[in-house]
Amino acid sequence: MVVTLAQLAVFVGTLAVAILSPGPGVIAVSQSAFAMGRARALPYGWGLAVGASLWCLFALLGLTVLFRVVPWTFVALKVLGGAYLVWIAWKMWRHAADPLPDPAEKRYGAGFWGGMILNLSNPKPALFYSAVLLSIFPAALTAADKAVIYATALTVELGFYTALATLMALPLLRRRYYAAKFWIDRVAAGLIGLLGLSLILRH
């Protein structure tokens, strides 16, 4: 192995700072924890974590090289991903006035697979991971190095989304959500919709 503990520490720090910036995954898991509670939000958060970490794996396997060689593939993924985020936002906006769902009731798109698909709908993390990997680690990575880097990224993502789902499901925060559900859902829908539109329109 050529990867050092110091390099992994820098990788973790860089990833932690990036994850803290609010994106569609952060907004979605927070809203899910408010509405459904910790038990229902955790699988969704874990799906988001796995989806985000897969972009690291794709970057390690050379997906960003494909984006550079065949630029339209990145554009196509951005448009499709942006359209999916806009669709999620429209559903959230339309159902803002609905009563709170029964925590025992299964909601389409709110489980593990829904979370994974949501974070896979934005291909920009592939470019982020590619830039970070190139700037921190040596160019020649062994299969073992790549496995360690991916496991590190997955651990950080899982830790973050687990903590976020747990925090946002605290009784005090949930009571605040109950009191202002309509406006919180509308704001969350607006933010996710803007992120989707920016993904489609920004070059």
Q: Which domain holds residue 157?
A: 5-12+24-201
- pLDDT over 80 (residue 103): no
For residue 93, being part of any structural domain is answered with: yes
For residue 162, being part of any structural domain is answered with: yes
For residues 10-32, give the mean pLDDT.
83
- pLDDT over 50 (residue 104): no
Alpha-helical runs (H) found in the chain: 5-19, 24-36, 38-60, 63-69, 71-94, 112-120, 124-136, 143-168, 171-179, 181-201
For residue 18, being part of any structural domain is answered with: no
For residue 19, being part of any structural domain is answered with: no
CA distances from 15 to 31, 94, 125, 137, 166 (A): 23, 34, 11, 14, 20
For residue 17, being part of any structural domain is answered with: no
For residue 134, being part of any structural domain is answered with: yes
pTM greater than the 0.85 cutoff: no
**Residues 121-173 pLDDT 10s:** 878 788 788 878 878 888 678 889 999 999 999 999 999 999 999 998 998 88
For residue 32, being part of any structural domain is answered with: yes
| Number of domain units in the chain | 1
For residue 175, being part of any structural domain is answered with: yes
Per-residue pLDDT at 36: 83
